[in-house]
């Protein structure tokens, strides 16, 4: 298993003249999860966007394996799923996943296997817009299973999922960590990952 490390040092974020957080730091290794907690507007999504390289921190830095994020290797190793599903509703389930594969670092999991693992087997030809909210979320998360990304960054991944769906995604997250992956996520749901080393940061 290749060793990876995500490090944040002295991060600060200011929005509309309000300091969301400052002097924030953490270190995350393979097989670990970082859960970001806090009320709405506390800066959780802003922090995720900084970790993805979508926006710059007002102070501090983020490093991946010792190098500042933003290079091609980091983009190849990182996968982001936002609080919106990010699927193309006019395409079928199968077409959505094929489109995602064209843009991603492909792993060993096939489209059929990914659909089966998120309990969408047999939905290949269904237009995405015909799926329920929970099914759309599962389709969005199925994209992660087909990639070889070490780092998953997830913004409220359990949105629209019922209890069974939450348990399913938690199992997939545990499998990812067991294989050497690492995850940063926000969630209002209390995680049930007893076999995973979960760190927590609460943004006030």
Complete domains list, the chain, with CATH: 5-203 (3.40.50.300)
> Does 8 score more than 90 pLDDT?
yes
Residues 33-48 have pLDDT tens digits of 999 999 988 999 999 9
CA distance 169 to 164: 9
pTM: 0.93
| DSSP secondary structure string for all residues of 82-124 | -SS----TTSBHHHHHHHHHTTS-B-S--HHHHHHHTT-TT-T
User: In this structure, what token pair is assigned to residue 152?
Assistant: 């998953």
Residues 178-202 have pLDDT tens digits of 999 999 999 988 899 999 999 999 9
Q: Which helix (H) or strand (E) holds 73?
A: helix 72-77
Angle between helices 93-101 and 133-145 (to 10 degrees): 30
Average pLDDT over residues 46-62: 96
pLDDT value for 1: 63
> Does 112 score more than 70 pLDDT?
yes
Mean residue pLDDT of the chain comes to 92
> Does 127 score more than 80 pLDDT?
yes
| Band of residue 3 on the pLDDT scale cut at 50, 70, 90 | very high
């Amino acid at each position: 298993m290749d060793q990876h490390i995500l490090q944040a040092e002295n991060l600060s974020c200011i929005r509309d003249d309000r300091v969301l957080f400052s002097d924030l730091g953490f270190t995350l290794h393979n097989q670990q999860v970082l859960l970001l907690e806090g009320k709405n507007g506390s800066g959780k999504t802003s922090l995720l966007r900084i970790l993805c390289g979508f926006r710059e921190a007002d102070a501090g830095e983020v490093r991946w394996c010792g190098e500042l994020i933003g290079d091609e290797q980091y983009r190849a190793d990182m996968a982001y799923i936002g609080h919106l599903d990010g699927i193309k509703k006019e395409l079928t389930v199968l077409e959505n996943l094929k489109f995602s594969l064209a843009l991603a670092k492909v792993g060993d999991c096939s489209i059929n296997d990914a659909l089966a693992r998120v309990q969408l087997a047999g939905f290949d030809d269904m237009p995405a817009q015909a799926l329920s909210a929970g099914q759309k979320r599962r389709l969005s998360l199925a994209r992660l299973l087909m990639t070889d990304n070490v780092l998953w960054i997830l913004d409220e991944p359990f949105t629209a999922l019922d209890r069974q769906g939450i348990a399913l995604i938690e199992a997939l997250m545990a499998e990812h960590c067991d294989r050497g992956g690492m995850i940063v996520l926000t969630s209002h749901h209390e995680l049930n990952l007893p076999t995973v080393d979960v760190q927590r940061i609460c943004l006030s």
